[in-house]
Structure 1
């Protein structure tokens, strides 16, 4: 027996007719007919159902004829619209109150403020609202900003961000990670894990993946277990990991149980080739280590002792500031030098050099003369150190500029190395043009300064050997039309030849940004090997400086648990 299909109302494509409004006082609302009189809805859109409802419950409305009937329908429609607007307004107000609570919570989290400050923020907002717009003050008072609400809001936002990163990471064709471990204000080791990945459409994502507290030891195997846990949480594929950037600590790059070694072991156990996995040292950290090789201990020791004598004693400090005001100095005070914030060294030296005469007079007044300030060779060393640290600070500022890719960062290093060689040769000839502070002095040992520059140059060559080894790959990625094909990997040579002969792509490459070229114009289907190569290089940690500045600027502001909870 053949089965019969039941008729479905949804499949009949019934439409509401305007005349039913005039005849039966019905309108369509949310795909169902609504009675304007009693506000009941009819489940099935059928003229018989509408007519029966009208004749059964509202037959008395037959007395409305012509213009009276039309006016009555319009009045009923206005009442329905007003009721809808009332509900919608209350809903919008409630949503805005919750949204405001999330906005304040986000600000508190971003600025690492105690969660209890939410109540203080609410008190301020309420007071301001009563002055500027009193009619909104009752809405402001409804915003919940207690510490427990702030905690829930931040947890919800963190969960949403984690889910978003997880969804984005699932589309990565290749990614790099950056690892850095440091200690916060509560003496708890914190492992920061950053990720930069690229999908098939060359969309790049760069995020702080996790900040893992490490309560016990911070050995290589401990850090690796944390990395492995994060990979599991975010469903990251080991085979798509192409580069690792570290802070160069033994626990990271140790030859036996370092994190890098253990990651390579994990890859090998999963039958993944580790030859293509490259390891880089944070570029700003390396630049800082190079800068520290410039000792000049006899200069730094005297200056540090002098500044500490002045600034570490409240009476001396206030007297020195008053002395500077009396002599109409261009500066109001000396600056401290902090080992962690290495940029402060150059600023401190420059300020001390500018105030050297005032400092000498003040120290004589205090019965603590500084004979070095009258020593010409020592002043020449100070002048040279002022200029050299200024050059190093300028390099550091270039490296910290946002939006740069790895080949651009390495380009700054290479240009500085060329400058060092130029300055060395010029100082040997007695040319101090690029050392304007040193120009004001005479009878100094140019050869010793040239030797210092030579030592610094060798330090740069040693420190940045890992970037030197990657230079060929960086050149292929950044300048594929100019690279020497014979020096390229054998697997890329054929596609490079075809690419370099494509004049249309070559002209477009010179007119737009590098990432825009690979994302919008590069023919992925014609050059599959170059595409895979570009994806791996595009996923290289673009902002290597983020790790160098993260703990310096943010980790010290991590909220104290006692304050927040």
Structure 2
């Protein structure tokens, strides 16, 4: 007896699913939701009503109260509004796809400009106009119009290169942190403007193999003294949260600022990284050796 009563209660509580009628367009509503649970969407404000609101009286009340100017419009007017509402997602999807493609193309061109070490203005002054001309002649006007949406101004190319550089540096630092140990190679130099530069190369383990990359190249504030080199190096490691204790090797040339017994850069690195072994760069050794060789052997080398 109790089971029969529960069954009757469940049947009485069963929710009635209302069906959408195509004739509801005269109230300004189109089909939304799914076939299992139909819903209605207003063609004026795009508001979606629940299945319980799928009654002609409620739909008519929404049209009269929210959109009184459309209440007396003919059915053809509301059908045109429905067509415009259904076309909006397609337009948004197409525009988003084109924007992503144009953005990716901008980064690809900026990467080529950086690899070839060309002036940033070449992208806007030469590459883009040439690409537009070729597409206009071979593919058509539509393709040429799409290419004109690619942003390749001088500032944009510079910003793209900086962003790609920062991303590469970030990934390299993460690889170094994940490696159980690493070694560095230091070299101080000067550019054509006679500014002091510090170049740091790094070797680290990844996927059971040893990889080598350029870690950074920074301008020293004053000169290539040991204090300046160590300050620049230690500041970079601190900012990037790289642990000195994982450093197991330091390779330098034979300059006094690098190999000094008491205040040299290598000595100061070994204070933070006790396991770091000092090695002399073999390229500098070869350079020193060739200075005392005969012209014939120097030419062979």
Distance 1:35 1:110 in 2: 53
The higher relative CO (CA closer than 8 Å, separation ≥ 6) is in 1
Query: Structure 1 residues 156, 27: closer, same or farther in 2, change over 3 A?
Result: same
Does residue 217 of structure 2 align to residue 208 of structure 1? no
What is the CA distance between 1:47 and its match in structure 2?
A: 2.1
Residue equivalent to 2:98 = 93
Query: Structure 1 residues 261, 20: closer, same or farther in 2, change over 3 A?
Result: farther
What is the CA distance between 1:206 and its match in structure 2?
A: 4.1
Residue equivalent to 2:193 = 186
Query: Structure 1 residues 289, 33: closer, same or farther in 2, change over 3 A?
Result: farther
Q: CA RMSD in A?
A: 3.7
Distance 2:244 2:102 in 1: 43
Higher normalized strand content (fraction of residues): 2
Distance 2:211 2:42 in 1: 53
Instruction: Tell me the alpha carbon deviations over residues 129-186 of structure 1, each in whole angstroms, 9 at most, x when there is no partner.
Output: 3222332222323333222222222222233333333444443322222222222222
Residue equivalent to 2:143 = 136
Residue equivalent to 1:353 = none
What is the CA distance between 1:228 and its match in structure 2?
A: 0.5
Structure 1 residues 537-556: aligned runs within 5 Å: none
Q: 1:48 aligns with which of 45, 52, 67?
A: 52
What is the CA distance between 1:195 and its match in structure 2?
A: 2.3
What is the CA distance between 1:211 and its match in structure 2?
A: 0.9
Higher normalized helix content (fraction of residues): 1
Residue equivalent to 1:152 = 159
Distance 1:237 1:231 in 2: 7
Query: Structure 1 residues 240, 58: closer, same or farther in 2, change over 3 A?
Result: same
SS of residue paired to 1:191: strand
Residue equivalent to 2:294 = 296
TM-score (norm 2): 0.71
8 Å CA contact retained: 2:186, 2:252: yes
8 Å CA contact retained: 1:194, 1:207: yes
Gaps (5+ residues) in structure 2?
Answer: 1-16, 25-29, 65-70
8 Å CA contact retained: 1:194, 1:206: yes
8 Å CA contact retained: 2:32, 2:48: no
Does residue 227 of structure 2 align to residue 221 of structure 1? yes
Query: Structure 1 residues 204, 293: closer, same or farther in 2, change over 3 A?
Result: closer
Distance 1:233 1:239 in 2: 16
Residue equivalent to 2:88 = 83
Query: Structure 1 residues 254, 35: closer, same or farther in 2, change over 3 A?
Result: same
Q: 2:250 aligns with which of 239, 244, 250?
A: 244
Report which stretch shifted further, 84-93 or 156-165.
156-165
What is the CA distance between 1:212 and its match in structure 2?
A: 0.5
Residue equivalent to 1:280 = 279
Distance 2:39 2:205 in 1: 51
Distance 2:23 2:199 in 1: 71
Residue equivalent to 1:117 = 122
Distance 1:109 1:87 in 2: 33
8 Å CA contact retained: 1:33, 1:41: no
What is the CA distance between 1:226 and its match in structure 2?
A: 0.9
What is the CA distance between 1:278 and its match in structure 2?
A: 1.4
Residue equivalent to 1:231 = 237
Structure 1 residues 352-371: aligned runs within 5 Å: none
Gaps (5+ residues) in structure 1?
Answer: 1-16, 65-71, 268-273, 301-341, 347-388, 390-565
Distance 2:280 2:174 in 1: 29
Instruction: Tell me the alpha carbon deviations over residues 218-258 of structure 1, each in whole angstroms, 9 at most, x when there is no partner.
Output: 01221111110110121101111122222343322222322
Distance 1:176 1:23 in 2: 76
What is the CA distance between 1:33 and its match in structure 2?
A: 5.7
Residue equivalent to 2:181 = 174
Distance 2:112 2:21 in 1: 52
SS of residue paired to 1:119: helix
What is the CA distance between 1:50 and its match in structure 2?
A: 4.2
Does residue 272 of structure 2 align to residue 266 of structure 1? yes
Does residue 255 of structure 2 align to residue 255 of structure 1? no
Query: Structure 1 residues 288, 34: closer, same or farther in 2, change over 3 A?
Result: farther
Residue equivalent to 2:10 = none
SS of residue paired to 2:250: strand
Residue equivalent to 2:204 = 197
